[in-house]
Chains A and B, each alone.
Chain A
Amino acid sequence: MSNLSTMQKGKIASVLVIGGGIGGVQAALDLAESGYKVYLLDQRPAIGGTMAQLDKTFPTNDCSMCILAPKLVDAGRHQNIEIITMADVDSIEGEPGMFKVRVKKNPRFVDESKCTGCGSCWNNCPVRNMVQPDEKETVKPELEEKDLEKITELMGDNKDGRGTLVPLLQDINTEYGYLPQNIIRYVSTDLDIPLSQIYNIATFYKGFSLTPRGRYIISVCLGTACHVRGAPKILEALERDLGIKVGQTTSDLNFTLEAVRCVGCCGLAPVVTIGDDLYGKVTQVKIQKTIEKYKGREYAKAKT
């Protein structure tokens, strides 16, 4: 904006707004109102962006379509705004006050000035009317013998009717330490639950992991009681010591480092659990020594 003066001397009072989301539309409207000729460019077939898909706006909780729609209409009707959709910016040259922009307009195969939006083409489109193969996964993934046995057993335990998906996933997670992909897919087809629903659940709760985890899960409590007694420092010490960040697993698959919010032993804060063992009143130095013991244990096991 330092070159405002050149702009004022400026030759052409026209502006190109790239992107026709709510921000672009508003900018175009404001500029057009102040008398500039505006080109509003969007890659997609229509302006409006993602705002139309949102339910509410922050922070007033107004309905977003109610805010957006009048602006779209205004932009469409405005004398000073020319909307260019299905277009990409190829190149920009020049300087503030005098830009030259090359725009590549992609074909739409519809003459917009003649189209009445009757929908007839949509209804008769051969591609759309082609019989699509059922997209649902009907082929059950092949499981290895031992996996199949395990999974059948777990599913048998959780078969008493409604609301059993979460407990089943929990059992799988405990059995394998995480949710292996082929098993989730197997469950999806066997129980006829969409894969997306399973992933929705698996990613919502912190109790599930989609990647393999280490032999020992180290959980550092970051609950309030532990926080005020210095838990963040304990976590950092472990990150330094193991060379991984929270949520990661060491490359030898020995340790996974996790942060949890309260394990219910707040009287012993700060608390760390390693596997099934719980350690209270830990310090940075103490926990590093404790970890050494576990490293040693694994080493001893590997040797025998």
Chain B
Amino acid sequence: MDLSGGDILIRCLKDEGVEFLFGYPGGAVLHIYDALYKQDDVKHILVRHEQAATHAADGYARATGKPGVVLVTSGPGATNAVTGIATAYMDSIPMVVITGQVATSSIGSDAFQEVDAVGITRPCVKHNFLVKDVNKIAETMKKAFRVATTGRPGPVVVDIPKDITDPAIKVPYEYPTAVAMRSYQPATAGDPELIKEAIALLLTAKQPMIYSGGGVVLGQASEELRTFVRQLAFPITSTLMGLGAYPYNDDLFIGMLGMHGSYESNMAMHDCDVLIAIGARFDDRVTGKIAEFCPDAKIIHIDIDPSSISKTITVDVPIVGNVANVLQEMNKLLASESKPDIKAWWKTINGWRSKDCMAYDRNSDQIKPQRAIEIVHEITKGDAYVTSDVGQHQMWAAQFYGFEKPNRWINSGGLGAMGFGLPAAMGVQLAYPDETVVCITGEGSIQMCIQELSTCLQYGLPIKIVALNNRYLGMVRQWQEFFYKERYSSSYMESLPDFVKLTESYGHVGIRIEKPEDLESELKRAFAMKDRLVFIDIVTDQKENVYPMIAAGMAHNEMHHSPHCELPQDPRRELA
């Protein structure tokens, strides 16, 4: 039976196994919405802003490993989606975004709601397509899913002019099982010679470090990583994006690294003699000052993307390949080797570790944000899916929640997009209706996609929103305190809404916590409401800072420390 372009598009999604389509209708996609109406295989989730559609699809993808799928209209629908597309691009998240376009005959005429979606999204997609023939829809969709999900994953935009989905034009439909693309052949296995070289180097190490990143989560290589680390008994640190791939509470794990990483991991990075980077891309928030990055180390780098290798830091042993495959090979080779004795190195590391670099004032009469996160961990037994927005709360969540499993920590690391947390949590909750999903946010960030509380009611998503309300764009305030002599330019959040009433007006439950003594009991009460969305507005210490901190462009051993820890005091006055 012949089908229209709109029907074909939806059939493609069904045949691709898509459960949810996050979207928002408009003129250019009305034929597609009509096709959606006629079926119930693919469930459409109506968001309240296209940015949220992309973040929700992204959250779904990060939690499940399956591609997130989005449908938006032309013009403003497409431009609203751009932030979410860029977010997914920076963090290599598989996503297929279908944008409506004006009819083929109108393209280029500045038609109503026309934007060059392919042009606008080109720098922030893995690839994009403009479909100009109804007979090409199925093949293009197959290519889009293939490109989005293989190699280094990423978002793919498919721009479809309205006439291509015209219900009056019907053609035969068959979803291809495979598509040939001569120009796209992502690497899988690593070079065996380089793998051997890497093993040899690792076995000579006296002060080794394992630096693991988001690629391990994306590449579903957490098991392989655990075997690898335990065989060697080497210290392991993780990037913000990699948290959970290795359990935080294992003795070999020495904390996150980078700008707000632990003292011990940053010091160990600085002093190591062999570094193995696994699915990590030497981001500037991780490396600090390039010239002083791991100054004495030979570096091994495993990455699926050749362009990540020696981009900013020149490496000695580059291994291009799928992280899981490469680690499996390494694990096999390592099994028969005797491992180096690094007791002296562990002694040094344990010395650094003996000082609690994350210490904070536990006797304050104000609620400390760190404590709130610790309690959330306790209540959820460390087993929740935690999304976050961007700011201090994000760093505290990363430092204090403690992730034991991959795919549980979901945040916008690369782009740092405020507004990500709540819609991402929606995607996660839809994927896992019975799991606890927590959105850790700030009073600034939550207002960037607050309208999604309405979507949450419509689809019955019992997310727990933990808002660390410091009445400041806290991370901005922290930088202004440190580097701008406390000139708090536009970082105070005035005229905040009453979040409890606001949440109630959206049909959910709101709780406000103001006193440290109420923190635990009120959080427990909130999390006990299993089938309700609860917005927990926690009034926290306004002036709390995130420590340790390496100022942008400084070296790993140049950390600022909290006045509440035993480490050398915060040298901020020298910097100011």
Q: Do A and B come from one complex?
A: no
Residues of A within 8 A of B (CB): none
Residues of B within 8 A of A (CB): none
